[in-house]
Amino acid sequence: MHVSMIVNEREQALDVAPHHSLLSVLRDQLHLTGTKLVCGRGECGACTVLLDGEPVYSCLTLAVACEGRTVTTIEGVASGNQLHPLQQAFIDHDALQCGFCTPGQILAATALLRGNPRPSEAEVVNWMSGNLCRCGAYPNIVRAILAASATMQERARAQ
C-alpha cells in the first residue's frame, strides 16, 4: 500500500505492507533508529512518537493508519544543533542511564508540556506512567520534566 505522511517536517511517500507498524517503517525504511523496539506490545513506551501531536506507541500503530498525518520522532525534536529544553534537562538532571527509554520519555513529556505547560509533580508522574525506565531513573525524569517546564516558561516570558 502507498502511504504519504509527514515525518519530522518532511513529506514521505512510502510503500508499506498493510501489517507493518509505524515503528518498523520508521526504523527500517526511513532509518530513524531513535525510536526503540523493546516490548512490541505497547507496554513499555520506548517506541513512543507523536502522531499529530499526540503520543502513540508506534509498535501498535499501523503505518497505513498514518496516511496524511504528521509524525514526530526523537530525531525531529531538536532545532538544528539546539537541543529541545527537555533534551537538555534530561542531560542536566541525569534523567537517563542506559538511554534506551529516553526517546519515548522525551516525546511523551513533549506532549504533556504542550497540553499542560505547568504540570505539578503528581501530574508528571501520572502522565509518564505509560513509559517504563528499566534503570529506575524516575525521580530524575520527573525533575527534568519540571525543570524543562520552567525553562520553557522563562523563554516564553522573554519573547
Of 53, 76, 99, the residue at which a domain comes to its end is: 76
Contact between 144 and 92 (Cβ < 8 Å): yes
Q: What is residue 8's predicted lDDT score, i.e. its pLDDT?
A: 98
Residue 10 confidence (pLDDT): 97
Q: How much is the pLDDT for 149?
A: 98
Pairing of strands 48-51, 10-15: unpaired
Please report, for the domain that includes residue 153, its CATH number: 1.10.150.120
Under the banding of pLDDT at 50, 70 and 90, the label for residue 65 is: very high
Record the pTM: 0.95
Average confidence (pLDDT) over 104-120? 98
Q: Are residues 66 and 90 in the same domain?
A: no
Is residue 110 domain-shared with residue 128, that is, in the same domain?
Answer: yes
Q: Please provide the DSSP assignment of 86-152 as one string.
A: HHHHHHHTT--SS-SSHHHHHHHHHHHHHH-SS--HHHHHHHGGGS--TT--HHHHHHHHHHHHHHH
- For residue 55, what pLDDT band results from cuts at 50, 70 and 90? very high
Residues 31 and 91 in one domain: no
Using 50, 70 and 90 to split pLDDT, how confident is the model at 94?
very high
Which of the listed residues 76, 108, 126 is the one where a domain comes to its end? 76
Count of domains observed in the chain:
2
Domain co-membership, 72 together with 7:
yes
Alpha-carbon gap, residue 38 to 40, rounded angstroms: 6
Mean pLDDT (whole number) for 39-56: 96
Provide the CATH number for the domain around residue 41. Answer: 3.10.20.30
Confidence category of residue 51, pLDDT binned at 50, 70, 90: very high
Residue 148 and residue 104 share a domain:
yes
Q: Are residues 104 and 152 in the same domain?
A: yes
Summarised one tens digit per residue, pLDDT across range 139-150 is 999 999 999 999
Give one word for 44, left, alpha or beta, with left for phi > 0 and alpha for psi -120 to 50.
Answer: alpha
3-state secondary structure (DSSP) of residue 62: strand
**Residues 8 and 67 both lie in one domain:** yes
- Looking at the fold, whether 91 and 140 belong to one and the same domain comes out as yes
Query: What is the C-alpha to C-alpha distance for residues 123 and 112, in angstroms, rounded to an integer?
Result: 9
Dump pLDDT digits (tens) for 13-38. Answer: 999 999 999 999 999 999 999 999 99
Residues 105 and 151: beta-carbon distance below 8 Å: no
67 with 90, same domain?
no
The domain boundary, picked from 26, 56, 76, lies at 76
Q: Are residues 35 and 98 in the same domain?
A: no
- Kindly state the helix (H) or strand (E) to which residue 56 belongs, with its residue range: strand 54-57
Q: 34 is in which domain, residue-wise? A: 2-76
